[in-house]
Amino acid sequence: MSSYLSKLFGTSPVAPLQKHMAVCCAATDELVTFFRYAVAGDWSAVDESRDRIVEHEQKADELKRKIRSNIPKSMLMPVPRADLLDLLLVQDLMANKARQVSGLVVGRSIEIPAAIQADFIAYVQRNSDAANKALASVNELDELYETGFRGAEVSVVEQLLVELDDIENETDRMQSRVRCDLFEIENDLPPVNVMFLYRVIELVGEIGDLAERIGHRLEILLSH
């Protein structure tokens, strides 16, 4: 059956999408390491970690361009080409966000205050967890594609998406807690530093938001 569908639909674009998503998650995973070095005050290691994030983001961009050029245009694909391209775009934004937030921290030499470090690192880690749960969901796409997005595999993906929503909701709660932590000490910090710290917290949270958006794109694919 799978060989018949492959002939009917053309070369599957799913494997390249999965590879791209793995690279994007490598960038968000590295962000956890990046901030661990930052709170330790090891700025040489921070710079090296930032370089790795940039490398992952650049690799993701290269893969994105190749996928856009090679994704099948056949009308016989089991899902619309535009939906796959939307998924690709949201995946890519995660790597971009990791690069953006790491660049802001390095460019401004932003230090995470000791009073919020524990909650902040846990918050960064949970957003990375959301990205990895999205990766696990995307990694189920190959079997879905081969079966025309039908069958038992749909239930597996739907459960992963429920778990992804739960993690993203947790990141929202954690963001509120970190912001409250910062609010309690902001009078003791330079106002400009406080402004940029709030921006860093927001950007990290956008990784979890993007992971949730990937889940929504997968739900659209499942609806066809």
pLDDT at position 2 over 70? no
- Give how far Cα 55 sits from Cα of 8, 27, 59, Å: 37, 8, 6
pLDDT tens digits, one per residue of 98-122: 999 999 999 999 999 999 999 999 9
Which pLDDT does position 9 carry in this prediction? 40
Read off the pLDDT of each residue in 66-88 and give the average, rounded to a whole number: 79
CB atoms within 10 A of CB 134: 32
**CA 193 to CA 171: how far, in whole Å?**
23
Asked whether 100 and 210 are in contact (CB, 8 A), the reply is no
pLDDT confidence of 222, banded at 50, 70, 90?
confident
**CA 168 to CA 22: how far, in whole Å?**
19
Could you give the 3-state DSSP secondary structure of residue 75? coil
Which pLDDT does position 117 carry in this prediction? 97
Q: The tokens of 213 are what? A: 């958006």
pLDDT confidence of 207, banded at 50, 70, 90?
very high
Asked whether 11 and 72 are in contact (CB, 8 A), the reply is yes
Which pLDDT does position 69 carry in this prediction? 87
Least confident residue range of 50-64, 131-145, 180-194, 202-216: 131-145
Nearest to residue 161, comparing CAs of 145, 180, 143, 138? 138
Q: Give 148's DSSP letter.
A: T
Least confident residue range of 49-63, 105-119, 135-149, 188-202: 135-149
Give the contacts of 11 (CB within 8 A, at least 6 positions apart): 72
Which pLDDT does position 106 carry in this prediction? 97
In the predicted model, what is the mean pLDDT of the chain?
89
pLDDT at position 10 over 80? no
pLDDT tens digits, one per residue of 155-202: 777 888 899 999 999 999 999 999 999 999 999 999 999 999 999 999
